Amino acid sequence: MPIEEPALTPRIPHAFRAVMNVLTFSQKPRKEFPSLVDKEWESILRFCELAHLTLPLAERTNGSFPQWVIDRLQRNISDNGARFERVKATYQETSIALDRAGVEYLVLKGFTQSTDYVSNPRLRVQYDLDFYCPQEMIERAQTVLQAIGYRPEMTLDYSRADHQPSLVRKGNWRFQGNDFDPDMPLSIELHFCLWNERTTRITVPEVDNFWGRRTIRSLEGLSFPALSRVDHLGHFALHILRNLLSGDWAVHHVYELASFLNDHANDDEFWQAWKLCHGPKLRALQLIAFAHAKAWFHCQVHDAVEVEMQALPSKLHHWLQCFTGSSLEGMFCPNKDRIWLHAALLESSHEQRKVVWNGLIPSKVRGIHHPATRLNNRRKLPDMHPIPRYVIYLVSRFSAHARVIPRTLLHGLRWWMLQRQFGLPRRVIY
């Protein structure tokens, strides 16, 4: 039973639909951008900055873009190109310090996405350097980085993070409204795991094999230890899955994944290695991210991937059939359809009940300064005394959770009935 191709939901604003259409990998001719006033374009550009889609959009500019928009996107590309020089310099300084101290590590994400997932590292925004270190190396790495001026940022809640508190250098730089400012310093994140079983409740023991298959890569004068190409894809797909389960914005990651899948749709050798290195469970988890990439950006996928997508268990198949667009919709209209996906990935009924209950009625509301809160709210609370400001935040969070519960339960019922083939029409919520 094939996974149906969903259509964009009306809950997604028409301007964002236009952005998605420009970024599509479909063989069909792309539609021209709708006629928009300058205020609407400003809203699109700001959204793309928040969603990290500015540079992909800049690569796809066409004649329907106003000239001032094209000029602004070109400035963004230029600034980010200059910023990449800072990225390189920061990495070189950091890697020298770690190497001298005998710290073993891998570089994750960031410029390692080039050139498989993005054509040029200058066309990908990067705000931090991500290093994975084995547990026994974390403390030494932390000491080394503090010795060259980095200090942990302790004002945020990192209890559910995969890394130590972010390391930053104190300085005089201040944000002036340019998300691509070449002078913006980078923070450093030391990751202690490649998949967080504690927070996801999903065991993926195969990720322990990634370290033994690590390799040395080169890019624009940089030499760095990294995951193998197959494991890079596995880790990246798992990272997207984690974002989907946590309700974080993943659209820019999914776009990069779609680019990879589309460019490697005929790469028999790569996909043979993928099946050889990754077992059925690990592949199935990756397929969830692949299905989102295909649905959102209409990329091509290799035949082997298509076959495995169609062979997914019924509960996952039906969730993807119904809710592949929920994370897109969630950027504009909150929903909790992800909890049914999370439940479908768990084998223990006890764990499933805990995930559903905690998803519907969180036992702990994220703090106002939690990284996910700051990322997902995408807005600034009014300036006022901290106490009423925090009360307003708590009321808004509880109100938001309460509003989505009925719809979440209805969608969960629909998903349950589809699995049992009660004859409901398979309308895609997307």
Angle at 58 between CA 374 and CA 20, to 5 degrees: 70
What is the reported pLDDT for 375?
A: 38
What is the reported pLDDT for 425?
A: 44
| Spatial separation of the C-alpha atoms in residues 218 and 356, rounded to whole Å | 44
374 is a domain residue: yes
101 is a domain residue: no
71 is a domain residue: no
Percent residues over pLDDT 70 in the chain: 85
188 is a domain residue: no
| Spatial separation of the C-alpha atoms in residues 19 and 13, rounded to whole Å | 10
234 is a domain residue: no
Average pLDDT over residues 158-162: 87
358 is a domain residue: yes
74 is a domain residue: no
321 exposed, middle or buried (CB, 10 Å; 0-12, 13-18, 19+)? Answer: buried
Give the least confident one: 13-17, 161-165, 203-207, 423-427: 423-427
The model's pLDDT over 21-69, given as tens digits with 9 standing for 90+, comes to: 999 998 776 666 778 889 999 999 999 999 999 999 999 998 889 999 9
pLDDT at 143 over 50: yes
Which of 329, 378, 325, 368 is CA-nearest to residue 43? 378
The alpha carbon dihedral of 259, 263, 265, 268 has a sign of: negative
| Spatial separation of the C-alpha atoms in residues 235 and 260, rounded to whole Å | 14
Domain interval for residue 425: 314-430
Buried b (16+ CB within 10 A) or exposed e, 324-358: bbbbbbbbeeebbbbbbbbbbbbeeeeebeebbee
How many other CB atoms sit within 10 Å of the CB of residue 62?
10
| Spatial separation of the C-alpha atoms in residues 233 and 247, rounded to whole Å | 21
Angle at 133 between CA 220 and CA 346, to 5 degrees: 110
Q: What's the structural domain count of the chain?
A: 1
30 is a domain residue: no
Q: What is the largest CA-CA distance in the chain?
A: 65
The CA-to-CA distance between both ends of the chain, in Å, stands at 19
Q: Which two tokens stand for residue 55?
A: 């540079």
Average pLDDT over residues 203-232: 97
What is the reported pLDDT for 363?
A: 60
